[in-house]
Amino acid sequence: MDKFEKLIWIVSYKDFTIVFFIKFIIIMIMEKTDVVIIGAGPVGLFAIFQAGMLGMNCHIIDSGEIIGGQCTALYPEKPIYDIPAYPKISASDLIEQLRLQAIPFNPVYHLDQGVIGLKNNGTNFQVTTSKDINIESKIIIIAAGPGIFGPNKPPLKGMEEFEGKSIFYSVNKINDFKDKKIVIAGGGDSAVDWAISLSEVTEKIYLVHRREKFRAAPESIRQLQELASIGKIELIINYQLDHLIGSNGLLEAVGVKDLNNNIRILQSDILLPFYGLSQALGPIAEWGLDLHSKHIVANYPNFETNIPGIYAIGDIATYPGKLKLILTGFSEAASAMHHAYNKVFDGKALHFQYSTTKGINN
């Protein structure tokens, strides 16, 4: 049944005509733009600015309820040290600055929804979101970070009862953990970095890892060992999470087990399992893009994919020599937008100008 037939069908039900008529009219409206950006993380947000500087209009789609991607969802208060001109900036502050930078170009955000459909007519693309919004666009920029992501969860019995109350997969506000007894599980950057940061405010902090070697930056490991030596962090090495003790969503302790099945009980208020993210491309995987290890192959130096008019930038993109840094994604956004200029403006040549000369077009 096509949309017109649906509309005729609902009109016959007078009691519901007005409500559903409005709904289907909304569905039938096709929004038009120059650029659709999939992903509102830092790289997607900077792509708005780059597009705006070139006179392109943008619609941004993201499955999150707020902008920021992993920076907002996983580590908003975590300091970032490799953003040019910022010796140190929190992830949330970086997102706020990028949001402000994009404001002059009036981006249209479609949040809390994913892309479920794509049609390519050879000239333009039609994108459909999970909220039945249809957008016609001249180019598509995929800046989806790791794609559709979620935390890898430990297989603990009854864990669901504690999630959101005593078990968390991210840290939104450090002060929420002040004077708490905390167990952090994991051996990567997130586990190590948060153990270091939270040790400044917690009553007690344990870091549980199944082996002696940590998969984190050397400087972070040095700081961790230093804090452990003075008793600020207790390292529980060669142990894994085994069971939870508590009731009504409130933890009292976490049981951990070594390779010989010896059990230790760690008195704790909070458990933070940092076992990385599970990653999936979702419907994007069905678009016919060249994929490699759950990443989209992009053609350096313009980052166009095998489908003309679709670009991949940021962590979702892969190519020889790829460096997964936010600043690399910023550079990719600029290159992709400049390459896309003549597609958006029907072959018009781009006369490059520095921002200091051009100023902000709004």
**Is residue 108 predicted with pLDDT exceeding 60?**
yes
Sorting pLDDT into bands at 50, 70 and 90, what band is 147? low
Q: Which helix (H) or strand (E) holds 252?
A: strand 250-258
Round the average pLDDT of the chain to a whole number and report it.
89
**How do residues 159-191 score in pLDDT, each as one tens digit?**
999 999 999 988 878 899 999 999 999 999 889
Q: Rounded to whole angstroms, how far apart are CA atoms 259 and 347? A: 64
Least confident of 32-41, 145-154, 254-263: 145-154
**Is residue 355 predicted with pLDDT exceeding 90?**
no
Residue 6 pLDDT: 45
Distance of alpha carbon 230 from the chain centroid: 36
Residue 26 pLDDT: 46
Residue 148 pLDDT: 62
User: What's the helix, strand, coil split of the chain in %, to 5?
Assistant: 30, 30, 40
Residue 279 pLDDT: 65
Sorting pLDDT into bands at 50, 70 and 90, what band is 146? low
**Is residue 134 predicted with pLDDT exceeding 50?**
yes
Q: Rounded to whole angstroms, how far apart are CA atoms 98 and 12? A: 49
Tell me what the mean pLDDT of segment 224-249 comes to: 96
Residues 6+ apart with CB under 8 A from 22: none
Q: Rounded to whole angstroms, how far apart are CA atoms 123 and 119? A: 11
**Is residue 27 predicted with pLDDT exceeding 60?**
no
CATH class of 153-275: alpha beta
Higher pLDDT, 38 or 28: 38
Tell me what the mean pLDDT of segment 138-158 comes to: 85
HSE (CB half, 13 Å, CA atoms) of 144?
Answer: 30
Q: Rounded to whole angstroms, how far apart are CA atoms 217 and 167? A: 25
Tell me what the mean pLDDT of segment 251-267 comes to: 96
For CATH 3.50.50.60, list the domain ranges present in the chain.
3-149+278-358, 153-275
**Is residue 10 predicted with pLDDT exceeding 60?**
no
Tell me what the mean pLDDT of segment 91-118 comes to: 95
CATH number among 3.30.70.20, 3.50.50.60, 2.170.120.12, 3.40.640.10, domain 3-149+278-358: 3.50.50.60
Residue % of the chain over a pLDDT of 90: 72
Q: Concatenate the DSSP letters of all residues of 232-248 into one string.
A: SSEEEETEEEEEEEEET
Q: Using CA atoms in the order 94, 98, 103, 106, what is the torsion angle rounded to 10 degrees? A: -130
**Is residue 124 predicted with pLDDT exceeding 70?**
yes
